[in-house]
């Protein structure tokens, strides 16, 4: 195992900005990578990298032949954002995940994106972990552009997550790392889970189990390596069965339903209230029988704020 710097640039005042990765190398088998920290307010993926590193360190002690390929962990791509609790890339106020595929001679976000693309050249599978934002909590899910559906869905089905959400090609941004890698025939799956600025250990462990199983199937890990059992099979959602619930009034949201539950049509998900008086201003109710997979986390809401996403029950587990 080694941690190395794969991108360096001089800061205006003497320091250097360094972006690092940790590499676990075994034999000449497939090469896989895990990305996180593209958004400086998303921490779930950093903990996933820690858990994977701990597992791989233990494997190398107990079964040095168990790693047949290479695992690369990129826990903190937007180091400046993480250090300063900023979602975007500070100074440039640019979303790093809108700067791909980048260019080596452009401004910092483009240069960093190009360095990340170069570092991942030749990878056999990349997982890009996101953690929503501070406003919404997400169950562990994979989001896939339908353009790459046939390549990515079979992998996503074995990742031990709760949901695969297929997006139509027209709604997908082409300047993300995932789209740029998939366009170069490097499979990249986007995981969304948890909430910004927090760590949800049970979600992280759920994904770690999925990744270890996928890597074993790919023969990154040897057949005699024991990995935890898969416990979840994902539902499949798409633009036809996902319902968006928006706030009818501004105010404070008080949830009434727990996340990731079966809902009945009309069931109360929560109320929006005012700190100035006792009346309920409005209610959030499910429009369909379905599954609650996104729920408002940050209580203060404006009229029109996204409160929840519900997948209608006709979605099936794969
Ligand atoms: Zn993100």
% the chain with pLDDT above 70 = 97
Rounded to the nearest angstrom, the distance between the alpha carbon of 63 and the centre of ligand 1 is 35
Rounded to the nearest angstrom, the distance between the alpha carbon of 130 and the centre of ligand 1 is 4
Dump pLDDT digits (tens) for 277-312. Answer: 999 999 999 999 999 999 999 999 999 999 999 999
pLDDT bin (cut points 50, 70, 90) of residue 273 is: very high
Answer yes or no: are the C-beta atoms of 16 and 57 closer than 8 Å: no
Instruction: Tell whether the model's pLDDT for residue 315 goes beyond 80.
Output: no
Residue 6 host element (H or E): strand 2-10
Alpha-carbon torsion 82, 85, 91, 95, what sign? positive
| CA angle, 151 then 184 then 209, to 5° | 50
- The per-residue pLDDT for 174 is 87
Question: CATH 2.40.50.100 spans which residues of the chain?
Answer: 240-312
Rounded to the nearest angstrom, the distance between the alpha carbon of 106 and the centre of ligand 1 is 22
| pTM of this structure | 0.96
% the chain with pLDDT above 90 = 92
Distance separating alpha carbons of residues 145 and 168, to the nearest angstrom? 6
Rounded to the nearest angstrom, the distance between the alpha carbon of 224 and the centre of ligand 1 is 35
One of 1.10.260.40, 3.40.50.800, 3.40.640.10, 2.40.50.100 is the CATH number of 240-312, namely 2.40.50.100
Rounded to the nearest angstrom, the distance between the alpha carbon of 156 and the centre of ligand 1 is 18
Distance separating alpha carbons of residues 78 and 96, to the nearest angstrom? 7
Among the residues of 92-148, which ranges form H helices? 108-119
Distance separating alpha carbons of residues 189 and 143, to the nearest angstrom? 7
Alpha-carbon torsion 8, 70, 202, 158, what sign? positive
Question: CATH 3.40.630.10 spans which residues of the chain?
Answer: 2-236
Domain 2-236 superfamily per CATH: Zn peptidases (3.40.630.10)
- The per-residue pLDDT for 317 is 57
Dump pLDDT digits (tens) for 162-177. Answer: 999 999 876 667 899 9
> 47-78 burial, b if ≥16 CB within 10 A, otherwise e?
bbbebbbebbeebbeeeeebbbbbbbbbbbbb
Distance separating alpha carbons of residues 135 and 156, to the nearest angstrom? 26
- Select from 296, 132, 308, 290 the least CA-distant residue to 203: 132
Distance separating alpha carbons of residues 93 and 74, to the nearest angstrom? 22
Rounded to the nearest angstrom, the distance between the alpha carbon of 128 and the centre of ligand 1 is 9
Dump pLDDT digits (tens) for 33-43. Answer: 999 999 999 99
Rounded to the nearest angstrom, the distance between the alpha carbon of 133 and the centre of ligand 1 is 7
């Amino acid at each position: 195992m080694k941690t190395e710097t794969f991108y360096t640039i001089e800061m205006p005042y003497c320091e250097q900005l360094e972006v690092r990765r940790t590499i676990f190398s075994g034999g000449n088998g497939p090469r896989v990578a895990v990305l996180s920290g593209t958004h400086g307010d998303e921490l779930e993926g950093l903990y996933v990298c820690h858990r994977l590193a701990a597992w791989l360190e233990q494997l190398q002690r107990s079964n040095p032949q168990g790693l047949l390929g290479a695992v690369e962990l990129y826990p903190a791509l937007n180091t400046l954002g993480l250090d300063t609790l900023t979602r975007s890339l500070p100074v440039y106020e640019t979303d790093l995940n809108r700067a791909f595929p980048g260019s080596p001679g452009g401004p910092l976000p483009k240069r960093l994106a190009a360095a990340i693309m170069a570092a991942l050249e030749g990878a056999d599978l990349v997982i890009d972990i996101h953690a929503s934002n501070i406003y919404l909590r997400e169950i562990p899910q994979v989001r896939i552009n339908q353009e790459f559906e046939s390549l990515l869905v079979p992998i996503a089905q074995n990742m031990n997550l709760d949901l695969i959400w297929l997006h139509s090609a027209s709604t997908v941004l082409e300047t993300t790392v995932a789209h740029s890698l998939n366009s170069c025939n490097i499979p990249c799956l986007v995981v969304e889970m948890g909430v910004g600025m927090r760590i949800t250990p049970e979600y992280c462990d759920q994904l770690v189990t999925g990744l270890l199983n996928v890597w074993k199937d790919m023969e990154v890990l040897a057949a005699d390596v024991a990995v935890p059992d898969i416990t979840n099979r994902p539902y499949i959602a798409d633009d036809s069965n996902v319902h968006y619930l928006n706030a009818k009034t501004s105010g404070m949201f008080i949830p009434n339903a727990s996340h990731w539950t079966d809902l009945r049509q009309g069931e109360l998900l929560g109320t929006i209230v005012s700190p100035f008086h006792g009346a309920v201003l409005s209610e959030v109710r499910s429009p369909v029988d379905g599954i609650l997979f996104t729920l408002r986390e940050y209580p203060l809401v404006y009229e029109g704020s996204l409160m929840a996403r519900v997948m209608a029950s006709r979605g099936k587990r794969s």
